[in-house]
Each structure stands twice: as C-alpha cells, then as structure tokens.
Amino acid sequence: MRQTVRIESLAYQGHGVAHLADGKAVFVADTVPGDRLLVEVADEHKCFARGTTVELLEASEQRVQAACPHAGACGGCPWQIVGYASQLFWKRRFVVDSLSRIAHIADADGLVAETIAAPKLWGMRNKVEFKLYREAAGGRLQAGMYTARSNSCAPVESCMALGGQPGKLPGRLAGLLNFVFVDGRAKTGSLATADLTPYRLGIRTSQRTGDCEVALWSRPAPLRRSFLAGTIGQQAKCVNSVVRVLTKEQDGRHKTVRTEVLAGRGFWSEAFGGHVLKVSAPSFFQVNTKMAELLAKRLKEQLLQGSGRCGLQVFDLYAGIGSFTLPLAAAGACVVAVEINGSSLCDLRRNLSAAGLQAEVVAGDVARELPWLLRRATGGQAARGGLAAIVDPPRSGLSSTVAKALADSPLSRLAYVSCDPASLARDARILIDGGFRLQQAVPFDFFPQTYHIETLALFEKDT
C-alpha cells in the first residue's frame, strides 16, 4: 500500500512520524519534519505502521545535505540530514516526553532546560569503535559500522566524527590487518590463523594531548605481538599506543579476560578539567571530551551550591575512571567512589594519585555496596555535613534494587547522568515516589548527527 504523507515529528530512535489516511501513525526512516513523501507501508500493526520512502515529493526546510561520504550506508550518524537547530529541539522533546509519559511529571516542559549545544558538529568524538568483518568466508577484512536498523555492516574508510589523521585510520588499519592476519598466513613468520583474527577495532584520540591509541578485540591465543605492533606503527604514524583486549564468550557476550600492551604505554590520556586522565582500553570515558567537561562543571555546581556544601559527602556511584570524582574531590567534597570494573578501578586510583587528590574507592557492585555505605554515613560525621550522590548508570538505567535504596535513603541531593530518556524517566518516578523532587533536567548534546542525548537531572529531598 502506498500513501502520500507529511512528516510531523521525530521519534526516539530517529524515525520520522506521520499519519496515514486512517489516522494510524507511520514511522519512516531517514526523514525530516516537514518532508512530504510517497511511502510504501510494508509493516502494519494494530496501532502503528512502518513505511519506506518511495519518493521525496517536497523537502523540508529543516533538511540539509549530509556531509559524510558514508551517509546512508553507515548507521553511525543517522541524523546528518536534520538541521542542527532541529536536532537540538527534538532531543529536548525526547526528554520532556519521557518525563511526562513515563514518570508522569505534569510540569516536565518547565523543568527541562534547553539542550546544551555541542561546540563542534564534526571531529567531536575522542573514540569510535568499528566492527571487523568479512563479507564472505575467507574474504578480506573490512572495518565498518552496522547499517541503520539491520545486522549487516557497511565498510568505513574514514570517519568524520573522529576527524584529523585518526579519522583516516579505519580503512588503512583494515588494510594492515589483512596483511597481518590474511596475507601473512602464507609467508615466513606469519602469525595468525583465522581464529586469531580480531573482531573489533577501537580508535581513541585526543586533540589536547596528541595521544592516539588503537585497540583490537580478539580471543586469547599466542600472537607475535611485535610484528603486529610494528606493522601498525610503521604505517600509522599518529598511533602511539597499541593494545589487544582479550575476551571470551560467556552467556552470549564477550567478557574481558585481560589487556595486552603491544606497543606504547598501554593507555590513552586526555586533558580534562585541569587534570590529565589515563584511560585503559576497556574503561569507559565519555566520547565527547568538551561536552563531558561542561556536564561535570554543571554537576559540581549543582551539588555544591549553597553554604557549607564543601563538607558534603558524595557517593559517586558507577564512578568509572573518575571524571566526576576528581573535580568534586578538588572542590573539597568527601567523595566515596564505587566501581566494579577492574580496568576502571585501576584507572580511577591512578588518576587520583596523579592529581594528588583523596577519595575513598570502593571496589564492588553498587547494589551490594550502597546499603552499608548509607548505614555507615547516616550515623557519622557525613550525616551532619549532608549526603549527596551521583549516579551514571549504563543505558538500561538503575536496577530496581539501587533505585529503591536511593529513594529510601537520607540523601539530600542526587545527580542522575543518563544516556537514555526512557530509563531516566522510569527511575525518576521511583525517586519521586520516595520523596525526591526533580529540580531540573539539562540535556547535553554529546552526540551531534544522532538522536542520542545525555541528560543531567538534579533531584532534591528534604531530610
């Protein structure tokens, strides 16, 4: 069935939304509000349908020309055709709509600030990961990205989101890996069988420190490390660190076993908030350094505002490598940082030591550690100075156990850093039911050219 429709809005996940003649909503990929188009309705459900564009009849004023040569194939930057002002508008709407619809916050529109724009729309990322794959059995390795809404991959020769020399590395590194892992098998000194072939390629780069690290993910097996590292070093001069992340399959997922340093220092460094942070390959760090700095600055101001806040005890839950722990400790807060990932724990301790700062580091799962930390703090000096917390959970949000423990806690302030509006809204409802008030939610555009949005939400409670 074909119909002519006009795109009215954008939905989270990036699809344009229109309505068919019978009033049913239809989702159409790669469209912009205001576009008028002929669509083929191929996937119809009771309450909605999905369509594909047959012909763009009238282009929206909000539509722009995609800048990247891989646009339309690579799924990494699906909103290149959406003007930036429109991107910012719709990202804020995603946060407002989730807080209204899921958290049932009546005045959500008044509580969500305007989206903080990114200062750079390209070359803004410090990290991109690519899938290494073969288009056919025994074929050449390609570095690529999943195409939009599919499990297939498209080769990527260069990446405008990385920019500079590192942005030119994906295709070049794929060629080097073919020389090492494919062609090299038939030569003297060859180092690999097909089982050793890496399945993921990561590139981390800093425009501030000049560091550029290449990480390869593969299964544990003997490897002529110097040959691999030397080949990369000779042909990719901007790379000063090469590591191999060894993983094994467990419950259908890749679990990190250990990281091998093949060349260089074995970590990537980034100047951040007056400190130089060292980040190991498996450790998490926000991919947009400048926006992460702006968010950390706003978070610190919100938690420490008011008299006497420098005596505040702050639980930095899911602390990672310390991007919130360090600025809060430097401002005089008593920080207890909780982290379970071994790589991130090592980086956190190393970064605190290098900065000459003090914080209590607790190694463990937040759900297990939080109850006793709250009990200890409630009866001690920290209770007199006030208690606050930061949560920066994965995309799935807080577990029900952690959300309930926070809702029932004596915390006076809670800063929630979220990369998913829906999980933020779900957890916000639990916190509000426990006595917290949402003071403000601020969207930060860490990810231009995509529908993703980072949000800093501040909750307060009278204790």
Computed over its alpha carbons, how large is the radius of gyration of the chain?
24
- Cβ contact 115:92 at 8 Å: yes
DSSP state of 235: H
- Cβ contact 428:448 at 8 Å: no
- Cβ contact 91:451 at 8 Å: yes
Q: Which spans in 207-341 are helix H?
A: 225-235, 289-304, 325-330
400-407 vs 366-378: helix crossing angle, rounded to 10? 10
Quick one: tokens of 163?
């920019």
Query: What whole-number distance in Å separates Cα of residue 51 and Cα of residue 341?
Result: 42
* Among candidate residues 80, 81, 4, the one with its CA nearest the CA of residue 36: 4
146 DSSP β-pair partners: 153
Quick one: tokens of 402?
């952690």
Neighbour-count burial of 412, counting CB atoms closer than 10 A to its CB (0-12 exposed, 13-18 middle, 19+ buried): middle
Q: Which residues are catalytic?
A: 419
Residue 223 burial (CB count, 10 A):
19
- Compute the C-alpha angle 261/210/164, nearest 5°: 110
